[in-house]
């Protein structure tokens, strides 16, 4: 087991490194690189402006150095050993690049090859790279600074302000979906082909096939738009707030209810209703289907027949012999929801303007705030790898057949 | 309810199955898996039920246990265990019988044990359920039982999980579990089929020993006539949901009357006999959804005449204590086969039907 | 002797009957799945309507009706020439009925293209992995495993954000570009973006087909007949294309049908988030996105593309489910 764990953790680190390389690669093939967002804001730029901007985002460094600085924050200057700076004069980038030029000289076309007018040397890094561009590296928990959404502010700080909203949304809907979905799945499997089973398999089927954004819009239509439009005819219809996490000013849900003050528990609750509804429905569909099929699979097994042949009553057969086995795959798959607690639900958060991680990511992509987008992807990847490992370890705990060596 | 003898009329009969019909209701139609089976087992006997896979022998045993699952139903017939008709017994009563008076072991011993519980606990569970023992009592008794069925170092082995023991040992565990409450009837459904040949012999040996020690009545289901010869007192041969021949084991091997039994016998590989391929009776078991009219074996029978495909033969007592379901031996029709010779069942590949051989080879049965 | 001959011929006949009735059994089983049949009818109808889009509507896709007083305008708005906007006009005054039909065409075409490419590619990769085994298989299945564990939506979004923003021109051959332009009823410059989106979707689309085919190929390659074929000198390519891939067609068909629904939803989601097909090319997703800003006054706006989207996405899932039941009743859900 220890050997296995060590091996898995090494593998995990490799995967994380690959994930980092991949995200960084994405970053670099993106059109205009990280400058895209800024160029959208500021149009005409001189060569010097551009150079300065490039330097701000370290685009003047050659990519291996850039990647290494992004990942671990090194090199951050010359290597000092015994008071002597080594490699201080190694060129690590180009501040003012020169494109290939064709000049007519004495009636002849002379091609000046692309090159560099001003190099960046290792010794330059500390002074040329002021606060905004320096990062201690993503592996040390420094995700750099936002370029567009909160220009100049640390990405981590911005994410931390969004995380509570996402955690709230995801924890509640995941919990509810387990609470509803698992019993439905079990009962459907026990009563296979019954009316209950048909009804709920069809509902779950629709739940997992239905696009969440449309379902979300429908909820807004039913609980916000129609009550508002029909206010004169049906003044008693309750109106739910269509988006965001908290209200700014007091509002009325329905005439027969007291006005809701912003920031109160009732306010939070009302804002949660629709996004939680969408996500719970969607996850519940997935989990009830999963539990049902794994339960059905187990009910077919010979040992369930043995349990019956032993003279155990049906309840014991199901709870003790079938359910325990059916929940083995469930437990290992359920831990895969962990990355979601960080990354949130991109679509649902967008539909309901929920100020969480998913929406932050959506904004970052739409406004080309690459440091935020990359940090999001990177952390999600790390959490996914971690959750997979956790799932494998849990397997050994719940299933005596699995032993890793 | 045809010719129902009141239960208890023959005191030493333990299990009396009468005209049992079990159907499965599937999307593609009604599968008539068991189509009117009659047999009885005397106390202390070992009765064999033999036939190809899909002939309904396993369904017969599951019907007796009432473990058919969702789509299977006993549609007709009676299953008397002493004075109780299992076919109509309420489920609460049935639960008390299963694992107690009536127990069963299966073909795949390893997959029959729950992978997440220790084998000792699985044996103990029956004792807790039926004899009201405490956990500790039951565990001790379970270890005792495990030792009795020949598991070495039973105390330690009882703590193993099913995947840690071999198939043969798993079957021993299953036997221990089945016998721990001293059942009246043990149903063994292909108990050795999934095991290695040497282990097979050991398990059969164990079953015979336990049978003599405990006097358990056994219904042994198998497709292997070798197992039948070794273990059984009486044998019923099943085909397409019906019993086609029923007699004691010696008579069956010396004088098989039904053509199907004949084929089965011929299909036993004889040591030193060189064949191109392993013998099988050509053709397949009929589709149990659309059963042919007449004798179900007629399409594969080398002796089949017109009558065979028109009307189903009844089970008649052709010789004392020897029942058979075949028109050849029925007094009304046997004349049609006057002077026929027995087939030389040579199997030379699947396409070729067993052919009636030249008169010299056969035995006259008229 | 005659018995023998007869039985042989009978057997031959029986086999023919069996294969013939196989198709009928599949059809009968499919017909029993009522929701699948209803879905098939509805989806075919939408498909047909999208094919006939230019014939069914008098309006141009992007034509702006300047006469309509309110934009968006409600269903039944009549323009200056007396033509009716059956489903109203959008915020720019474009006919919604026309746009939703063209959107059907775009969404369906994207889905079909993505599924066609990914299932073919996936089947091929899976067959190669399963057939050759060893290191090839190890490498391929690790990649598949890994890609299946990562949450695909964030990556899809970042990929489309990167590729759809770039001005890189894909080197599409002229005939392909013209063909796609005719298929999507969209100008060739819009085709570029659609092709990028298709490629991005294929990036995650081939996995399940590959996994299915790999399993199939793995078990087939161990069977005697493949051994015999190899001994008889059949080339690997021949064995893969003639024997392994045809064997996996049934499950691939089921997965393709389910994938069609999935791709339509994914594409709509990307377009809804502004990272898929962009206006003026209409898709259900971007129509829903624009409708979101106007739905508080004009609640029918999201319903128009939404109803199509829901029917098609749920419909394809039911069809796939029905197909699975029909092709392999053991896999019944």
Does residue C11 sit at the B interface (CB-CB below 8 Å)?
yes
What pLDDT score does C20 carry? 53
A343 Cα distance to chain centroid: 3
Banded pLDDT at A33 (limits 50, 70, 90) = low
Interface A-C, measured as beta-carbon pairs within 8 A, has a size of 114
SS3 label, residue A119: strand
What pLDDT score does A405 carry? 67
For the stretch B233-269, pLDDT in tens is 999 999 989 999 999 999 999 888 898 888 888 777 6
Does residue C12 sit at the B interface (CB-CB below 8 Å)?
no
Residue B190 in contact with residue B53, Cβ under 8 Å?
A: no
User: Which positions in chain B have a beta carbon within 8 angstroms of at least one beta carbon in chain C?
Assistant: 27-28, 282-283, 302, 304, 351-353, 355
Q: Which residue has the higher pLDDT, B278 or C274?
A: C274
Does residue A310 sit at the B interface (CB-CB below 8 Å)?
yes
> Please, which chains are in contact with C (at least 3 CB pairs closer than 8 A)?
A, B
Mean pLDDT of chain C: 82
Is B27 in Cβ contact with C329 (below 8 Å)?
yes
- C34: in domain: no
What pLDDT score does C121 carry? 94
CA distance B298 to B224: 23
Question: Which residues touch B160 (CB under 8 Å, ≥6 apart)?
Answer: B118, B119
SS3 label, residue C140: helix
CATH of the domain at C248: 1.10.3720.10
> Please, which chains are in contact with A (at least 3 CB pairs closer than 8 A)?
B, C
Cα B166 to Cα B17, B104, B113, B151, B163, distances in angstroms: 35, 20, 12, 11, 8
Under-50 pLDDT residues of chain B: 1-6, 8, 275-278, 348-366
Question: Which residues touch A296 (CB under 8 Å, ≥6 apart)?
Answer: A189, A192
Q: Which residues of B touch A303 (CB under 8 A)?
A: 111-115
Instruction: Identify which of A194, A93, A310 has the alpha carbon closest to the alpha carbon of residue B117.
Output: A310
Instruction: Please name every residue paired with B20 in a beta bridge, in sequence order, or none if there are none.
Output: B37
The position carrying tokens 């089947």 is C123
Helix H or strand E encompassing A105: strand A101-105
SS3 label, residue C185: coil
What pLDDT score does B4 carry? 46
Extract the tokens encoding A125: 């890094």
CA distance C117 to C125: 12
For the stretch C136-190, pLDDT in tens is 888 888 888 878 877 788 888 988 888 777 666 777 788 888 888 888 887 877 8
Cα A97 to Cα A49, A77, A103, A113, A393, distances in angstroms: 13, 21, 17, 11, 52
The alpha carbon of residue C203 is apart from the nearest alpha carbon of chain A, in Å, by: 14
Least confident of A53-57, A220-224, A386-390: A53-57
For the stretch A112-162, pLDDT in tens is 777 787 788 777 776 665 544 556 777 777 887 787 888 778 889 999 999
Least confident of A362-376, A383-397, B7-21, C206-220: B7-21
Mean predicted confidence (pLDDT) in A67-88? 74
Is C8 in Cβ contact with B351 (below 8 Å)?
yes
Phi, psi of B22 (to 5 degrees): -125, 125
Cα A242 to Cα A224, A239, A353, distances in angstroms: 6, 9, 8
The answer to whether residue A295 scores a pLDDT higher than 90 is: yes
CA distance B202 to B184: 23
Q: Is A7 left (phi over 0), alpha (psi -120 to 50) or beta?
A: alpha
- Which range of A254-258, A315-319, B275-279, C234-238 scores highest in mean pLDDT? It is A315-319
The alpha carbon of residue A312 is apart from the nearest alpha carbon of chain C, in Å, by: 28
Mean predicted confidence (pLDDT) in A268-278? 94
The answer to whether residue A334 scores a pLDDT higher than 70 is: yes
What pLDDT score does A282 carry? 94
The position carrying tokens 């009316």 is A195
Residue A78 in contact with residue A122, Cβ under 8 Å?
A: yes
β-pairing, B84-85 vs B72-81, is: antiparallel
Instruction: Please name every residue paired with B222 in a beta bridge, in sequence order, or none if there are none.
Output: B50
What pLDDT score does B348 carry? 46
- C19: in domain: no
* Structural domain boundaries enclosing C315: 39-327
Alpha carbon distance, N-terminus to C-terminus of chain C: 49
Q: Which residue has the higher pLDDT, C313 or A59?
A: C313
Banded pLDDT at C45 (limits 50, 70, 90) = very high
The alpha carbon of residue C234 is apart from the nearest alpha carbon of chain A, in Å, by: 40
CA distance A293 to A289: 6
CA distance C152 to C150: 6
B167 Cα distance to chain centroid: 21
The per-type count for chain A, helices as H runs and strands as E runs, is 17, 6
Extract the tokens encoding A206: 């629709």
> Please, which chains are in contact with B (at least 3 CB pairs closer than 8 A)?
A, C
Does residue C234 sit at the A interface (CB-CB below 8 Å)?
no
Mean predicted confidence (pLDDT) in C303-328? 89
Which residue among A309, A399, A401 places its CB closest to the CB of B67?
Answer: A309
The answer to whether residue A175 scores a pLDDT higher than 80 is: yes
C65 Cα distance to chain centroid: 33
C231 Cα distance to chain centroid: 39
Return the exposure string of C202-228: e unless at least 16 CB atoms fall within 10 Å of the residue's CB, then b.
bbbbbbbbbbbbbbbbbebbeeeebee
β-pairing, B217-222 vs B46-50, is: parallel
CA distance A357 to A344: 6
Is A201 in Cβ contact with C150 (below 8 Å)?
no
Instruction: Identify which of A176, A346, A21 has the alpha carbon closest to the alpha carbon of residue C152.
Output: A346
Work out the widest C-alpha separation in chain A, in whole angstroms.
Answer: 105
What pLDDT score does A132 carry? 46
What pLDDT score does C6 carry? 35
Banded pLDDT at A370 (limits 50, 70, 90) = confident
Exposure on the CB side of residue C323, measured as CA atoms within 13 A: 19
Q: Is B321 left (phi over 0), alpha (psi -120 to 50) or beta?
A: left
Q: Is B45 left (phi over 0), alpha (psi -120 to 50) or beta?
A: beta
The alpha carbon of residue B237 is apart from the nearest alpha carbon of chain C, in Å, by: 25
What pLDDT score does B346 carry? 59
Extract the tokens encoding A322: 């079938």
CA distance C287 to C307: 12
Instruction: Identify which of C68, C124, C119, C123 has the alpha carbon closest to the alpha carbon of residue C96.
Output: C68
Alpha carbon distance, N-terminus to C-terminus of chain A: 5
For the stretch B168-222, pLDDT in tens is 999 999 999 999 999 999 999 999 888 888 888 899 999 999 998 888 999 999 9
What pLDDT score does B352 carry? 36
Banded pLDDT at C198 (limits 50, 70, 90) = very high
For the stretch C59-113, pLDDT in tens is 777 777 776 667 777 777 777 677 777 777 777 778 888 888 889 989 999 999 9
Instruction: Identify which of B211, B234, B247, B325 has the alpha carbon closest to the alpha carbon of residue B48.
Output: B234
What pLDDT score does A397 carry? 84
What pLDDT score does B135 carry? 93
A8 Cα distance to chain centroid: 23
What pLDDT score does A29 carry? 66
CA distance C129 to B5: 66
CA distance A395 to A371: 36
Residue A70 in contact with residue A137, Cβ under 8 Å?
A: yes
In CATH, the number for domain A157-398 is: 1.10.3720.10
Q: What is the DSSP string of B152-214?
A: TTHHHHTTS-GGGS-HHHHHHHHHHHHHTT--SEEEEESTTTTS-HHHHHHHHHHHHHHHHHH
Q: Report the number of distinct structural domains present in chain C.
A: 1
Q: Which residues of B touch A302 (CB under 8 A)?
A: 106, 108, 111-112
Mean pLDDT of chain B: 84
SS3 label, residue A18: helix
Mean pLDDT of chain A: 84
Extract the tokens encoding C167: 């001005």
The answer to whether residue A252 scores a pLDDT higher than 50 is: yes
β-pairing, B29-42 vs A108-112, is: unpaired
What pLDDT score does C296 carry? 86
A355 Cα distance to chain centroid: 14
Q: What is the DSSP string of A145-191?
A: B-SSTTTTSBHHHHHHHHHHHHHHHHHHHHHHHHHHHHHHHHHHHHT
Exposure on the CB side of residue B113, measured as CA atoms within 13 A: 33
Q: Which residues of C touch B353 (CB under 8 A)?
A: 3-4, 7-8
The answer to whether residue A195 scores a pLDDT higher than 90 is: yes
C326 Cα distance to chain centroid: 20
> Within chain A, which residue ranges are assigned CATH 1.10.3720.10?
157-398
Is C1 in Cβ contact with B355 (below 8 Å)?
yes
What pLDDT score does C187 carry? 80
Cα C105 to Cα B260, C46, C101, C265, C287, distances in angstroms: 64, 9, 6, 15, 14
- C57: in domain: yes
């Amino acid at each position: 087991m220890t050997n296995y764990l060590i091996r898995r953790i090494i593998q995990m680190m490799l995967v994380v490194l690959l994930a980092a390389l991949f995200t960084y690669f994405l970053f670099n093939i993106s059109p205009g690189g990280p400058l895209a967002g800024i160029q959208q804001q500021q149009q005409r730029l001189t060569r010097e402006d551009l150079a300065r901007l490039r330097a701000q985002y370290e685009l003047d460094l050659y990519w291996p150095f850039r990647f290494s600085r992004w990942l671990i924050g090194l090199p951050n200057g010359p290597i000092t050993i015994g008071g002597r700076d080594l490699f201080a004069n190694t060129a690590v980038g180009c501040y003012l690049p020169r494109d290939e030029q064709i000049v007519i000289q004495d009636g002849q076309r002379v091609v000046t090859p692309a090159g560099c007018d001003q190099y960046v040397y290792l010794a330059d890094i500390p002074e040329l790279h002021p606060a905004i561009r320096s990062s201690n590296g993503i592996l040390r928990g420094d995700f750099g600074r936002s370029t567009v959404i909160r220009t100049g502010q640390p990405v981590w700080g911005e994410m931390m302000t969004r995380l509570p909203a996402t955690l709230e949304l995801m924890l509640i809907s995941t919990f509810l979906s387990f609470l509803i979905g698992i019993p439905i799945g079990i009962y459907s499997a026990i009563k296979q082909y019954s009316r209950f089973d048909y009804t709920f398999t069809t509902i779950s089927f629709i739940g997992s096939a239905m696009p969440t954004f449309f379902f979300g819009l429908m909820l807004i239509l039913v609980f916000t738009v129609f009550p508002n439009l029909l206010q004169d005819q049906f003044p008693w219809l309750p109106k739910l707030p269509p988006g965001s996490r908290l209200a700014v000013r007091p509002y009325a849900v329905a005439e027969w209810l007291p006005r809701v003050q912003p920031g109160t528990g009732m306010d939070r609750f009302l804002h949660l209703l629709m996004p939680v509804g969408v996500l719970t429905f969607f996850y519940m569909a997935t989990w009830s289907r999963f539990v049902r099929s794994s339960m059905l699979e187990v009910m077919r097994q010979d040992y369930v027949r043995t349990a019956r042949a032993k003279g155990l009553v049906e309840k014991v057969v199901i709870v003790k012999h079938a359910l325990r086995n059916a929940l083995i795959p469930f437990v290992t798959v359920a831990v895969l929801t962990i990355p979601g607690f960080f990354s949130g639900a991109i679509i649902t958060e967008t539909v309901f303007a929920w100020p969480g991680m998913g929406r932050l990511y959506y904004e970052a992509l739409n406004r080309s705030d690459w440091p935020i987008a990359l940090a999001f992807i990177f952390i999600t990847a790390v959490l996914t790898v971690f959750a997979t490992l956790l799932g494998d370890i849990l397997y050994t705990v719940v299933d005596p057949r699995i032993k890793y060596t | 309810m045809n010719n129902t003898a009141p239960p208890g009329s023959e005191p030493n009969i333990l299990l009396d199955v009468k005209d049992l019909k079990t159907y499965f209701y599937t999307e593609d139609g009604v599968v008539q898996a068991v189509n009117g089976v009659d047999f009885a087992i005397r106390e202390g006997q070992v009765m064999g039920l033999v036939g190809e896979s899909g002939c309904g022998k396993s369904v017969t045993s599951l019907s007796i246990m009432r473990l058919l699952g969702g789509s299977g139903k006993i549609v007709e017939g009676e299953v008397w265990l002493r004075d109780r008709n299992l076919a109509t017994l309420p489920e609460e009563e049935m639960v008390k019988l299963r694992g107690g008076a009536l127990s069963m072991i299966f073909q795949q011993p390893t997959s029959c044990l729950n992978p997440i519980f220790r084998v000792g606990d699985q044996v103990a569970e029956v004792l807790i359920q039926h004899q009201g023992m405490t956990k500790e009592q039951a565990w001790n008794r379970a270890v005792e039982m495990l030792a009795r069925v020949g598991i070495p170092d039973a105390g330690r082995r009882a703590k193993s999980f099913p995947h840690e023991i071999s198939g043969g040992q798993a079957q021993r565990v299953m036997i221990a579990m089945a016998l721990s409450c001293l059942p009246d009837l043990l149903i063994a459904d292909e108990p050795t089929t999934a095991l290695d040949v040497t282990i097979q012999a050991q398990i059969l040996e164990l079953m015979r020993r336990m049978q003599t020690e405990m006097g358990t009545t056994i219904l042994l289901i198998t497709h292997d006539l070798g197992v039948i010869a070794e273990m059984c007192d009486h044998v019923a041969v099943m085909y397409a949901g019906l019993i086609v021949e029923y007699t004691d084991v010696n008579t069956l091997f010396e004088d098989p009357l039904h053509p199907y039994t004949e084929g089965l016998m011929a299909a036993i590989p004889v040591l030193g006999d060189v064949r191109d391929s392993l013998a099988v009776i050509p053709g397949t078991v009929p589709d149990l959804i659309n059963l042919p009219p007449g004798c179900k074996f007629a399409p594969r029978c080398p002796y089949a005449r017109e009558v065979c495909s028109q009307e189903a033969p009844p089970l008649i007592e052709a010789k004392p204590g020897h029942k058979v379901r075949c028109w050849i031996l029925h007094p009304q029709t046997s004349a049609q086969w006057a002077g026929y010779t027995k087939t030389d069942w040579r199997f030379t590949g699947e396409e070729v039907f067993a052919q009636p051989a030249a008169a010299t080879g056969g035995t006259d049965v008229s | 002797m005659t018995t023998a001959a007869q039985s042989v011929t009978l057997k031959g006949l029986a086999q023919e009957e069996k294969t013939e009735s196989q198709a009928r059994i599949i059809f009968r089983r499919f017909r029993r799945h009522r929701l699948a049949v209803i879905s098939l009818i509805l989806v075919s109808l939408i498909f047909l309507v999208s094919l006939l889009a230019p014939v069914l509507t008098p309006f141009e896709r992007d034509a702006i009706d300047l006469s309509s007083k309110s934009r968006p305008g409600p269903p039944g708005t009549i323009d200056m020439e007396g033509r009716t906007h059956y489903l109203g006009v959008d915020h720019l005054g474009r006919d919604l009925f026309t746009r939703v039909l063209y959107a059907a065409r775009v969404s369906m075409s994207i889905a079909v293209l993505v599924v066609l490419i990914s299932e073919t590619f996936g089947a091929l990769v899976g067959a190669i992995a399963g057939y050759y085994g060893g290191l090839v298989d190890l490498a391929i299945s690790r990649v598949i495993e890994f890609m299946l564990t990562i949450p695909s939506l964030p990556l899809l979004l970042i990929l489309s954000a990167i590729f759809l923003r770039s001005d890189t021109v894909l080197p599409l051959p002229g005939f392909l570009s013209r063909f796609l332009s005719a298929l999507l009823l969209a100008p060739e410059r819009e085709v570029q973006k659609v092709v990028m989106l298709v490629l991005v979707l294929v990036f995650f689309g081939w996995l399940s087909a590959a996994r299915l085919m790999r399993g199939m190929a793995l078990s087939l390659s161990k069977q005697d007949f493949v051994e015999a074929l190899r001994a008889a000198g059949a080339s690997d390519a021949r064995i893969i294309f003639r024997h392994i891939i045809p064997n996996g067609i049934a499950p691939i068909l089921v997965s393709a049908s389910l994938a069609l629904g999935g791709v339509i939803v994914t594409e709509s989601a990307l377009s809804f988030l502004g990272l898929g097909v962009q206006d003026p090319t209409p898709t259900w997703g971007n129509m829903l996105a624009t409708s979101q800003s106007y739905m508080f006054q004009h609640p029918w706006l999201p319903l128009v593309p939404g109803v199509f989207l829901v029917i098609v996405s749920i419909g394809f899932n039911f069809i796939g489910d029905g197909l699975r039941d029909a092709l392999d009743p053991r896999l019944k859900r």
